[in-house]
Amino acid sequence: MTRDHGQIKTLTQFIALASGLTALCAPAVAQSEKDASLEEVFVVGERRAYQGNISPMEAPAADQLVDLELLRDVGAINLDEALDLSASVARQNNFGGLWNSFSVRGFAGDINLPSGFLVNGFNAGRGFGGPRDMAGIESVEVLKGPRSALFGRGEPGGTVNLVTKRPRFETQGEVRATVGRWSQHRIEGDVQTVLGAGDNVGVRVVGFYEDAESFRETVETEKQGFYPSVTWKVSENTSLSYELEYTNQEIPMDRGVAYSEEFGFTPRETFVGEPSDGPIETDVLGHQLEAQHNFSDTWSLLVGMGYRDTEFAGNASETNFAGRQTYFVDGQTLSRFFRYRDFDSEYSVLRAELAGEFETGTLRHRLLVGADYDKFENNMLILRYRPGYFDAATTDVSSLDPAEYLLLDINNPVYGLYPQPVPGANTNRSEVLEGNGVYIQDQIDISDDFQIRLGGRYDDFEQDLTNNLADPVTTTSSSETRFSPQVGAVYLVNDGLSVYASYGEGFRQQTGSNYLGNQFDPNITESAEIGLKLDLGNFNEAVAGTVMLTLFQVYQSNILVNDDRPEATAVGWFSRSAGEARSQGLEFDANLEFVGDLSLWLSYAYTDATFTNSNPDNDWGSTIEKGDPLINSPENQASLHISKGLTLGGMPAKIGGGVQYTDERLGWTAFDFYLPSYTTARFFAQLEPVQGLVVRADLDNAFEKTYYTNSYSDVWVQPGSPRRYRVTASYSF
């Protein structure tokens, strides 16, 4: 599929709205007088985990907060739907629907592993636990730019932090039930209460169960989760919190559709696997324990530990690539290969952070000092069967053995025609990544309206990689140290307007080893941005909320590419850390509440993400040319959501809707295959006929657009869902 510039649509409406909002508040900014003393409140309850006592207007970064009300308004059930609200985040290859994978500002992590995300400040997104459900999640934070100076080994373009639901020391509950298209049945529960003689123990239990079919024929998923938490107020100044995460999901691996320039896309409803392979089963068992002690109104200690065990196992028949792919011959018959996978991981982390403030002369310091330890153990077993290459001159698929190639008629699929293949050894490795880190961040008030941020982090990490297929079994070990600095400056024009600039470096460990058996150098990220923030509530009583405008530039080095040096090719197919890329662009984000119970969320991003040197791709060997775009990175992306509260017949009601626009983007690294742009619309309406009972209807992809959300290559493309409707009833007590 070649790039069609005629498909690139302008976003005039979004930019005009952004300009209008900025112009609207400009006179107010000019007339507003500067308040020399911003109100500061040190949170002596549960403060923001590992982020310090810094207000959004003072932070030299364009962070986004998607709170529970907005998650409910858009009907987000999984993490992908929540992250679609941020135009800075783009969907990446999701491994056949079996995990979350995304990029921030054009950069993703390892395309063959789930994207890392934080849970309450912990690196708890690692592992193979399946896609994250939104049950048990209070809010989603999109923390743009590298955060290695605080959180350590993160993703290059930014960090996503999930804040979970914890006890609020009140007795209440909610039950939600959803039925929808394709036999979707879902139930959620959220109950909390207070225990103890002094009402000093809060307990909260959240859980869900869902069973659903799909627009993909024969595809059915079943998942359930249980998330209890307990908070104990040991004293006025000390609290202890524990929460458990248990999730079980059964999801067939679904590689989506294939594309041929001659024949187009395969039907989006045709499942390319075998139902008899069964689902991939994923399990997560996680624990988090945190203790906070407030020494005073301005000094606090937060200590935490986490443990997360994930398992991933099952069979899958998957679409073959070119040279083994018969669809490219006749446009009707798909060939497949077969794999069995058994992955498991254990992740342990300890964190301790001291936060507080002090003065040196006329300078006020808000300080974070911390240390952490983490250990990630990853075991991967893969057995594989795949057919051989067929002759390039083959024009008749019937000349091939259908059982060898696991052939499937995409227009009239008949499953179960062939016995399940017997796979052979492919991968059997164990990897242990272990690291220690210390960090410091100081935000200094130089004057009433000017602040600077200085910080840095030192990491010492080790890797042990064991190849269990080698005879004898071999283990290679390596270690490295890394320092990640950050600097920033914020100028507070007045209570409602601030401008900032920041620079930071980050890194991410890479799994695997080079041809010598040594650990790859980590990805290195250098990021700079400038921006302005408006708190409109300070200028106009009719509107509240924030507007952010940001310019950014990010460089990344040590991207894995194919090692085509003679000494490497002489012993096999290996990768090396030699790729470089750059991302630069503009972001506009607004989260506003208007008089009359009208709310608006707008997020727009222009992202130009390209390689800055030429190398052979590590998966295909084809040449990545300097200037080639990064995979699944749209230049333009926008998300708009509007909701309005009203009264119907004396009953509270709400209506709303949203639009998602995603530009065309490269769908296969080092090849000329692009996914088309798309625009989808959604609507919702809800009514509260009696107090506590809310009935809601959702309509997604209302205009039945055919679209594709992400891909790995031209034969692994994920189609978007057709029009989908849901009805939800919830009761609060």
pLDDT digits (tens, 9 = 90+) for 241-265: 999 999 999 999 999 999 999 999 9
pLDDT in tens, 396-439: 999 999 999 999 999 999 999 999 999 999 999 999 999 999 99
End-to-end CA distance of the chain: 54
Residue located via tokens 């100044």:
237
User: Contact at 8 Å (CB) between 314 and 280?
Assistant: yes
Number of Cβ within a 10 Å radius of residue 276: 12
pLDDT at 611 over 90: yes
Q: Quick one: what percent of the chain has pLDDT higher than 70?
A: 93
Q: For residues 708, 711, 717 and 719, what is the CA-based torsion angle, rounded to 10 degrees?
A: -30
Per-residue model confidence (pLDDT) at position 46: 53
Rounded to 5°, angle at Cα 85 from 83 and 90: 55
Per-residue model confidence (pLDDT) at position 112: 77
pLDDT in tens, 484-494: 999 999 999 99
Q: Quick one: what percent of the chain has pLDDT higher than 90?
A: 80
pLDDT in tens, 45-66: 455 667 788 999 999 999 999 9
Per-residue model confidence (pLDDT) at position 1: 52
Residue located via tokens 């296969």:
668
Per-residue model confidence (pLDDT) at position 516: 84
Q: Is beta strand 158-164 parallel, antiparallel or unpaired with respect to 118-119?
A: parallel
Residue ranges in 217-309 assigned as alpha helix (H) = none
Q: Which residues, including other chains, have CB under 8 Å from residue 703's CB and lie 6 or more apart? A: 680, 681, 723
pLDDT in tens, 76-102: 999 999 999 999 999 999 999 999 999
pTM, two decimal places: 0.91
Per-residue model confidence (pLDDT) at position 157: 86
pLDDT at 4 over 50: no
Per-residue model confidence (pLDDT) at position 48: 63
In this prediction, residues 701-727 reach a mean pLDDT of 98
Range name among 7-21, 128-142, 201-215, 355-369 with the lowest pLDDT average? 7-21
In this prediction, residues 513-528 reach a mean pLDDT of 87
pLDDT at 26 over 60: no
pLDDT at 348 over 90: yes
pLDDT in tens, 257-288: 999 999 999 999 999 999 999 999 999 999 99
Cα–Cα nearest to 634, from 87, 19, 131, 25: 87
Determine if the peptide bond prior to 652 is cis (ω within 30°).
no
pLDDT at 7 over 90: no
pLDDT at 604 over 90: yes
- Rounded CA-CA distance 710/632 in Å is 6
pLDDT at 568 over 90: no
In this prediction, residues 458-473 reach a mean pLDDT of 92
- Rounded CA-CA distance 439/149 in Å is 7
In this prediction, residues 72-76 reach a mean pLDDT of 96
| Of 24-38, 49-63, 351-365, highest mean pLDDT | 351-365
Please, which pLDDT band fits residue 18 given cuts at 50, 70 and 90?
very low
pLDDT at 681 over 90: yes
Per-residue model confidence (pLDDT) at position 171: 96
In this prediction, residues 133-154 reach a mean pLDDT of 86
- Average of per-residue pLDDT values in the chain: 91
Range name among 202-206, 451-455, 573-577 with the lowest pLDDT average? 573-577
Q: For residues 3, 7, 12 and 13, what is the CA-based torsion angle, rounded to 10 degrees?
A: -130
Higher pLDDT, 694 or 44: 694
Rounded to 5°, angle at Cα 583 from 582 and 584: 125
Q: Which residues, including other chains, have CB under 8 Å from residue 176's CB and lie 6 or more apart? A: 186, 187, 188, 189, 728, 729, 730
pLDDT at 15 over 70: no
